[in-house]
With several copies, the nearest count.
Chain A
Amino acid sequence: MPFDPSDIMKDRITDIGPPKYDKFFPPIIKENYGKWKYHEILEPGVLVHVSETGAEVYTVRVGAARLLSVDLIREICDIADKHCGGYVRWTTRNNIEFMVDDKSKLKPLMDDLRSRGNWFPIGGTGASVTNVVHTQGWVHCHTPAIDASGIVKAVMDELFEYFGSHKLPAQVRISLACCLNMCGAVHCSDIAILGVHRKPPIIEHERVQNVCEIPLVIAACPTAAIKPKKVGDYKSVEINENRCMFCGNCYTMCPALPLADGEGDGIALWVGGKVSNSRVPPKFSKLAVPYIPNEPPRWPTTVQTIKKMLETYASDAKRYERIGEWIERIGWEKFFEKTGIEFRHEHIDDYRLAMTTWRTTTQFKF
């Protein structure tokens, strides 16, 4: 019974949810579910997990752009069919994992992957820079201050050697969100790339009353910068520009308040966040660079600043130290000194919890 556009309720199936997970488990996974005993990384991107039963699963992790065409997915399927019994998985950071149940299948798989141009770089395990979690950018969203996929590509090209190696003191998680909504939840990343606006919204007085709920717009502003205002015959709003910190929440509620501005928008870089509870509790990322202009197509300043931070960290930190742990050990004053990043007034918090970030001790380094 194919779909019948004239009767969409016919045979309608709803609320079935996703397929049950184990339907897609490869046999080796199904059989050893909950029995894994230990793992080892054999080389960057290649893991073995050993089961209590003695079984072994070999995983090859490959980097991928998150934006994939069906053609590329079909190629992935070809590989999985050929080597992995027709199964494949994606990681929480958008890498692809090919699994084989015997060591002998590993080399053919890897050779195959390597034979396909640069589509399937192997890496992303251990003390590496793994794939960049990111969002839509100019490819799909309506509020971005920056692109997503393009910046990620430029960054990963430059940091490529760190994807396929274990040379860093610890894992480094880079994320990107194209606006303050932070869809990637980049707020706890070792390095976060964030799209920022710097000009208050345009107010299209003629449109506001037609396309927006004014009370919701007013309520949306965290700093109460927006007030109702009559402009000529139009019910509209006014914005106290001095109180605007460019969060874009008003634009989310009201298309007649566009913020995007080629000259104003750009990138803020954040550092030192983490998620794992390993050693030290999860941490928010902190502002490193308040603003870098959008420099399409390859964002050189952003890319180089990230590289500089990464390599300063790499050469200075102790083993196991995530970026945030390193900075807390050396102190922020040394972070700015060692990376050569300028410390500016933007670094000093002035939002709700600002007070908790001030230095209430004489302990600091000259």
Chain B
Amino acid sequence: MALKHATPMLDELEKGPWPSFVTDIKRMAARKPMCEDLLGLLEMSYEHKEGHWKHGGIVGVFGYGGGVIGRYCDRPDLFPNVAHFHTMRVNQPASKFYSTEALRKLCDIWEEHGSGLTNMHGSTGDCILLGTTTDQLEPIFYRLTHELGMDLGGSGSNMRTPEGCVGRARCEWSCLDTQDIIYDITIKYQDELHRPMFPYKFKFKASGCPNDCVAAIARADCSIIGTWRDKIRIDQEAVRAYVGGELVPNGGSHGFEKRKLDIQKEVIDLCPTRCMEWDGKNLKIWDEDCTRCMHCINVMPRALRPGTDVGATILCGAKAPILEGAQLSSVIIPFMKMEPPYEEFHEFVEKMWDWWMENGKNRERLGELIQRLGLREFLKAVEVQPDPRMINTPRFNPYIFYDPADVPGGWERDAKAYRERHHA
């Protein structure tokens, strides 16, 4: 069936082995005028090498300050069906397992009320419903909550939809119940998720181990990363099996042929702290020097496992570049046990938010505020003692804000006595 707009450039994107979003949209376009116009608009963008969307106005569902991104096209004259093309962010179930039953229902709702196009998933983690009109927002919301038990995710100066890695659901290394932690945060802070109260957005992400499969350290204002405090568990026999070529190194990441693992070169020499030794029969790890980087475990998953005294390292401040340049999260709490009801963690979160809300400027992320006021102020606010694990290196500039409380007489000076000792 011929579509309304010719799309010679987009058609080029139907070629090649990777699944084509163009083919997919075209399929929908046959019965969805919104999709037809979207293709036309996109083709025009390809010609102009410029996008054709305007700033979104404030649209949303009643009582929520987030969850919908308003979007209007700048050529409604040509593409009336995408004149309005708002996005709804549906809060995904933690780590994105779905029953087909739920998914199909979601599809039905969306086909009825919107474009029928989605993003599975948005970068933050939401299940994104891409393109609808203002009048459809409330009906969709109603049906989501009533029929699916689903709710909207975050946008604006809110807590954003938290997300975690697959964790204990299907990974042997997880030191955390990532799903449960994410679910707990999401539920406990529904108000913060839906109603803007912060200086800017705030993101949580949780990875079960330092491999950080959800990229928490790069993109969450508060990154929760699983770790352990005791020893790596070693199965010496399995180590020997790797060395002997009976097991495939790195779980097959580099190929599946059985080959002898060169344990010295592939493991010991790549250990960042060089805290391992292989004497030809046994592997020794000096765990007190291990920085739990995961490399050895990654390479020998059947021989090595994280310890059992598990918990999280809490790091704060990651964000994209706007304004001061991108930041990674920094260690704030080297180790915290993470067990329900997560009280210690909640207390930390609330102290952190209080400080941020009190001191943060408009559009200032937590990481930028810490930069501006100093890590010291943040630690004071969250009542955490300074620890060398928070830094890569102590300061190298001599510009120290000494605390007057530590100085005899504080900042008081006796100018007269001074000039008695030192004539001007």
Chain A's closest residue to B274 (CB) is A329
A94 contacts B388, CB within 8 Å?
no
> Can you report 22 A-B residue pairs in the complex whose CB atoms are below 8 A from each other?
A18-B92, A24-B97, A24-B102, A66-B120, A70-B28, A70-B116, A77-B103, A137-B51, A153-B21, A187-B218, A196-B398, A202-B413, A249-B322, A275-B212, A291-B402, A320-B270, A346-B401, A347-B391, A347-B395, A348-B379, A348-B386, A349-B394
Question: Scoring A residues 55 to 70 as 1 if CB is less than 8 Å from chain B, else 0, what string do you get?
Answer: 0010100011111111
* Cβ–Cβ < 8 Å partners of B123 in chain A: 133, 135, 183-185
Question: Scoring B residues 377 to 421 as 1 if CB is less than 8 Å from chain A, else 0, what string do you get?
Answer: 001000000111111111111111111101111011101001100
Chain B's closest residue to A28 (CB) is B170
B328 contacts A258, CB within 8 Å?
no
* Cβ–Cβ < 8 Å partners of A67 in chain B: 21, 24-25, 117-119, 130
A187 CA / B320 CA spacing, docked (Å): 7
Does B12 have its Cβ within 8 Å of any Cβ on chain A? yes
B98 contacts A69, CB within 8 Å?
no
A365 CA / B287 CA spacing, docked (Å): 9
Does B10 have its Cβ within 8 Å of any Cβ on chain A? yes
A350 contacts B398, CB within 8 Å?
no
* Cβ–Cβ < 8 Å partners of B407 in chain A: 198-199, 263-264
Chain B's closest residue to A344 (CB) is B386
Does A363 have its Cβ within 8 Å of any Cβ on chain B? yes
Does B263 have its Cβ within 8 Å of any Cβ on chain A? no
* Cβ–Cβ < 8 Å partners of B390 in chain A: 348, 358-359
* Cβ–Cβ < 8 Å partners of B392 in chain A: 332, 357-360
* Cβ–Cβ < 8 Å partners of B321 in chain A: 180-182, 187, 247
B293 contacts A279, CB within 8 Å?
yes
A18 contacts B150, CB within 8 Å?
yes
Determine, out of A34-42, A103-111, A305-313, the stretch whose residues face the partner at the interface.
A34-42
Seed contacts A67-B25, A160-B16; 18 additional CB < 8 Å A-B pairs: A8-B138, A11-B146, A37-B305, A49-B172, A59-B170, A88-B97, A96-B120, A140-B69, A142-B51, A143-B51, A166-B253, A171-B253, A200-B413, A262-B49, A332-B391, A354-B395, A360-B392, A362-B313
Does A230 have its Cβ within 8 Å of any Cβ on chain B? no
Question: Scoring A residues 109 to 144 as 1 if CB is less than 8 Å from chain B, else 0, what string do you get?
Answer: 000000000111100011100000101011111111
Chain B's closest residue to A248 (CB) is B322
B295 contacts A278, CB within 8 Å?
yes
B7 CB to nearest chain A CB (Å): 9
B378 CB to nearest chain A CB (Å): 10
A66 CA / B289 CA spacing, docked (Å): 42
* Cβ–Cβ < 8 Å partners of A87 in chain B: 97-100
Does B375 have its Cβ within 8 Å of any Cβ on chain A? yes
B322 CB to nearest chain A CB (Å): 5
Among B143, B396, B398, which residue has its beta carbon within 8 angstroms of that of A3? B143
Q: Which size class do B's interface residues fall under? A: 35 or more
A17 contacts B38, CB within 8 Å?
no
B210 contacts A363, CB within 8 Å?
yes
Does A288 have its Cβ within 8 Å of any Cβ on chain B? yes
* Cβ–Cβ < 8 Å partners of A77 in chain B: 100, 103-104, 107
A352 contacts B328, CB within 8 Å?
no
A19 contacts B138, CB within 8 Å?
no
A336 contacts B13, CB within 8 Å?
no
* Cβ–Cβ < 8 Å partners of B227 in chain A: 362
* Cβ–Cβ < 8 Å partners of A135 in chain B: 123
A160 contacts B17, CB within 8 Å?
yes
Chain B's closest residue to A263 (CB) is B408
B388 contacts A347, CB within 8 Å?
yes
Chain A's closest residue to B28 (CB) is A69
B50 contacts A25, CB within 8 Å?
no
B400 contacts A357, CB within 8 Å?
no
Interface residues of A in 321-356 (CB under 8 A from B): 329-333, 335-336, 343-355
Interface residues of B in 157-203 (CB under 8 A from A): 163, 165-166, 168-172, 174, 177, 179-180, 182-183, 186-187, 190-191, 193-194
